[in-house]
Amino acid sequence: MKTLLFQTLSKRNRLLILGVGLVLILVYLIPIWSISISAPQYPEGLGMQIWINKITGATPYDLKNINLLNHYIGMQEIVSESIPELLFMPYVLAYLIFGAFITELYPKVGMAILGIINLVIVGLVGLSDFWRWEYNYGHNLNPEAPIIVEGMAYQPPLLGCKEMLNITACSYPSYGGMILGLSLVVLVYILWDENRRKKSNVV
Amino acid sequence: MLKKSNLILVTLGITLMAFVPNCKKGAATATLASDAASRVYVAPGEKDEVYAFLSGGFSGQMSVYGIPSARLFKIIPVFSVFPENGYGFDEETKDMLKTTHGYVPWDDSHHVEASMTDGKQDGRWMFLNANNTPRLARIDLKSFETKEILEIPNTAGNHASPFATENTEYLMAATRFSVPVPQASVAIDSFSKGGFKGTVTMVKVDKNTGRLSIELQVLVPGFNYDLSHCGKKKSHDWCFFSSYNSEQAHKMLEVGASKKDKDFILAFNWVRAKECKDQGKAYNFGGEYVNNFHDENKPAVSTKLSGVKMLNPKDCPGMMYYMPTPKSPHGTDVDSTGEYIVGGGKLASVIPVHSFSKMMEVKDKKEHHSTEIEGIPVLKYESTLAGEVQKPCLGPLHTEFDGQGYAYTSCFVSSEVVKWKLGTWEVVQHLPAYYSVGHLSIVGGSSSEPYGKYLIAMNKITKDRYLPVGMELPQSAQLYDISSGKAELLSDFPTVGEPHYSQMIPAKLLMDKTAKLFPLEENKHPYATKNENDAKIVRLGSTVHIYMTAIRSHFKPDIIEARTGETLYFHVTNLEQDYDIPHGFAIGGAPNMTNLLIMPGETRTFKWVAPKPGVYPFYCTDFCSALHQEMQQYIRVSP
Ligand SMILES: [Cu+2]
């Protein structure tokens, strides 16, 4: 095990990690997650996108219109400023990218494992935080809301689609989220590849 | 020469009927395509293929239909006030209906023209004439709203209008009622002595903004100029105007103006006219007129203007020629190639077709002139004639072209559409119309590149076509499929006002370009309130400005205090930024103001003078949300 941790990465795997670092920079420029809403009166659909540092509508007016819909059921207004996670998420991403570049100076398999651990933690914490955020928005309803349906909550799904009254809400990773997922896959592949290399060296 | 009394005309009519093979009585010959229903059926969720813009005749409006379903989509108020959305009432649009005669909230609107680039429809603007109080309007095809109205001075009865040149360089506007120019109280019988005049006006259209301005007027003999169409391709420089009453009768025109065997089509070289103006041959002439412009999200600006450049035909040789045309020509239409100019002699027994090339060849050869009227040479009939469609029908009026070498002429008296071939002048089909058909319209049919496929006939009388609804029956149009060799009737549909003329445009040219909303950040209205927190009430003496916002499902501020006699301006901004979410605004019992329909991101102003003490409700009139009915509040008026 120890030998594997300190095994120097192959040239190809170093390049792959460098690639992961570079591609992760894109996550600053594209949304990570997207929630889309469709209802009979919105045939063209409404969409919301979660970026590393902000929440926007799929069109310039979608977020405003989602909030307008939500106010009838007493949901809080969704504004980027009220979500503290968005303040430190960019630094977490910077840390991941930094890690990938450091690996070029210290190209050991252990660094790849550290990357996997980091990504898994970021993913798990991120998803559970996202779920908590959705839960709060969906359950913390204004008791003076115009429309109150007994026992109804409006928590969107974490992943997949869900019907809420006449609205179908779907939640899926967007390109940024896919990049994060793909990075994890690449790192796991590298680990598998290095492990195989170690075995063949021993033999 | 034919004799002119009504009796003889009727006799002539009956005689001609005998020549017209298919001309049997009305509905008996209704050859409805057997699968017509499926060809006009647009399934739920599907969209129509074509937009049809129909003028409303005496309604002063324009309406938008989908073709082939013939469903009515929208009425666009142009020259008439429209209580439905406050057009002509509110502070933003009331100046649109200002004229030198004051506020004229109605008109008689006949002709719709589509803007063109290189002779093809470009989907930017529609233009509409006002016959009664001479005006011309531009309707924007992004918002489907009237953006500009220009009054035409020194004219009466702006009927031959607004016909566009090939690139919409100019719109033509010509006199229907000749009058003393400048206006004066003169004996009416001086009409026959040349005391009355007509004018042809060149209205310039700004290439980028569409803004209208008067370039030049030409003083023409006092006939009645009825219709116009401009040339295309080789005849690009020319526009053609039909005229009647070249007899210059001033009473009982029915007889007096029907005496001569031929009246004229006036050929007008507008490029030459501009050249003469630039050479200083036009002189300064009076004439007061008004230009009203409604910029997006701003109050309309009405500007008083005075004086035009006037040109006399004798000072500009080569600019105008008269082509004799039988008999009291109504329509004058130029085919898609620009070669043939078809006259619609409403009392004629032939459809005369002039050749543009022949006209060019002979126009300046003395031996082809028969005489001259006030400096305008009169060419000999035979010299410019390309051919005549013999005994086509009774009362031929208007012709449209399908781009396949066929022409379709409406016949008022015999209530039919005749299809005939350009070049051979043979009638190939008679299509019954129900009844007394006026204009025809083919998709792109007056452009140089017709899209063909559909033709609508616009009728004056309905009689047995629909459920009776009192003495005035629905006005009506009919849809034909002209895509195959034989034109087929597809449907009848009732219309708003008199469906006078129409322009039809393929949907794909417009549907993706229409505006969905006004972006709030671009709202430049001086009284806009872009954020609910900025809503406020400002008092200036006895004037109160209420900066109000509307959003699903409330107004802000919602409680208003006022005193009897105070003038309240409700500047309402719709804060929505969603397609199809207007909010309405109306106050109970407001005597001088109707309703406002405020589009997303738009600001409009409702003026209200506080009446006797009491509590007055105001509310949203456009069903906007589940809580629309709660979108209401009160104004308290104290003594
Ligand atoms: Cu409303």
ipTM of the complex: 0.85
CB neighbours of B164 closer than 8 A, spacing ≥ 6? B113, B114, B115, B116, B127, B170, B171, B172, B205, B230
Contacts of B460 (CB under 8 A, 6+ apart): B412, B435, B436, B437, B438, B475, B498
Looking at CA atoms only, how far is residue B580 from chain A in angstroms? 10
Q: How far B148 CA sits from the closest chain A CA (Å)?
A: 30
Contact check, Cβ <8 Å, A68/B578: yes
* CA neighbor of B502 nearest in space, from B459, B453, B449: B459
Domain ranges (residues) in chain A: 2-198
Mean pLDDT by 10 residues, chain A (203 residues): 83 93 95 92 91 93 92 90 87 94 91 93 92 92 90 90 90 95 95 88 61
Q: What is chain B's mean pLDDT, rounded?
A: 93
Kindly determine whether residue B577 and residue A72, on different chains, have CB atoms separated by under 8 Å: no
Candidates A56, A65, A147: best to mutate against B (most CBs of B within 10 A) is A65
Between B9 and B186, where is the model more confident?
B186
Check residue A151 and give its pLDDT: 86
Q: Does B627 touch chain A (CB under 8 A)?
A: yes
- Per DSSP bridges, beta strands B559-563 and B632-638 are parallel
Q: Is any Cβ of chain A less than 8 angstroms from the Cβ of B530? A: no
Beta bridge partners of B537: B546
Distance CA A97, CA B207 (A): 53
Q: Is B552 on the interface with A (CB under 8 A)?
A: yes
Distance to chain A for B577, nearest Cα, Å: 6
The alpha carbon of A163 and the centre of ligand 1 are apart by a number of angstroms equal to: 27
pLDDT at B370 over 60: yes
User: What is the tens place of the pLDDT at every residue in B76-127?
Assistant: 999 999 999 999 999 999 999 999 999 999 999 999 999 999 999 999 999 9
Please give the C-alpha separations between residue B623 and each of A70, B552, B574, B604, in angstroms, as whole numbers.
Answer: 19, 10, 14, 18
What chain B holds in terms of domains, given with CATH numbers, is 48-509 (2.130.10.10), 520-637 (2.60.40.420)
Contacts of A60 in chain B (CB under 8 A): 519, 577
Note whether B143 and B514 are within 8 A (CB).
Answer: yes
Q: How confident is the model at residue B14 (pLDDT cuts 50, 70, 90)?
A: very low
Tens digits of residue pLDDT in B18-50: 444 444 444 444 567 778 999 999 999 999 999
Q: Are the beta carbons of B626 and A72 separated by less than 8 Å?
A: yes
B577–A64 CB contact, under 8 Å? yes
B576 at the A interface (CB within 8 A)?
A: yes
Rounded mean pLDDT, B175-179: 93
Predicted model pTM: 0.91
- Give chain B's length: 639
Q: Measured between CA atoms, how close is B350 to chain A, in angstroms? A: 55
Residues A51 and A27: their CA atoms lie apart, in Å, by 8
CA of residue B384 to ligand 1 center, whole Å: 63
A40 touches chain B (CB under 8 A): no
Domain A2-198 has CATH 1.20.1070: no
Task: Tell me the C-alpha to C-alpha distance, in Å, between residue B119 and each of B163, B239, B338, B461, B552.
Answer: 12, 13, 10, 33, 46
Chain A CB contacts of B517 below 8 Å: 61
